[in-house]
Amino acid sequence: MGNPDLLEDLDQRIWISSKIRIREPDLRSVESFVNRTYKMVHYEILTFTVLSLVLTFSEGKVFGRCELAKKLLQNNVPKNQIPTWLCIAKHESGYDNTKINWQTGDHGVFQISQIYWCSTDNQPGKACQSTCASFRDENLNNDIACVRKIYEEHQRLSGNGFNAWTVYSQSCKGDNSQYVKGCF
């Protein structure tokens, strides 16, 4: 008979060493698991980066003529004004929401000026309480709200709100009905 304490200690050592032996091969699978996870994370980061780039560059949209006409109508623009708005948008941007004129600081489909109407930083500001960047996205609701404000202001000042856009007197004073042909 040995010392029960010593026997217990020996038992414990055997138990611990058996655990270590069992775990040794596991280390390799842990390592391979870590490697696989590392590769997966890398793959996910790469996928995320590619998707972000695709989304960033796919924000650009050239509106269809009738698509734009319908957006104007949905935003309560008087129907008889819509042909002229389309003519202005066509000449200002070609209906492209990403259009920016770096020289004059005009933004979006309606080329809204940053001088009076929108802020160039991240805080919405100036007369339309908007960022200029928000006039270059695909949602035209705030663009249309702003052009209506510009129109009203110029209507008050000059008797014709469309005068705010130089292309109006150059190209859009006549019959613009062809712009909404087949739209409504």
Query: Which positions lie near Ca ion, rule CB under 5 A?
Result: 134, 137, 139, 142-143
Q: How far apart (Å, rounded) are the C-alpha atoms in residues 177 and 87?
A: 9
Nearer to Ca ion, 74 or 139 (CB): 139
Nearer to Ca ion, 137 or 153 (CB): 137
Give me the least distance between CB of 26 and Ca ion, in Å please.
57
Spell out the SS3 assignment of the chain: CCCHHHHHHHHHHHHHHHHHHHHHHHHHHHHHHHHHHHHHHHHHHHHHHHHHHHHHHCCCCECCHHHHHHHHHHCCCCHHHHHHHHHHHHHHHCCECCCEECCCCEECCCCEECCCCCECCCCCECCCCEEHHHHCCCCCHHHHHHHHHHHHHHHHHHCCHHHHCHHHHHHCCCCCHHHHCCCC
Give me the least distance between CB of 108 and Ca ion, in Å please.
7
- Tell me how many degrees the CA angle 45-51-54 measures, rounded to the nearest 5: 145
Nearer to Ca ion, 63 or 176 (CB): 63
Give me the least distance between CB of 131 and Ca ion, in Å please.
9
Nearer to Ca ion, 131 or 176 (CB): 131
Give me the least distance between CB of 40 and Ca ion, in Å please.
38
Give me the least distance between CB of 77 and Ca ion, in Å please.
15
Nearer to Ca ion, 12 or 139 (CB): 139
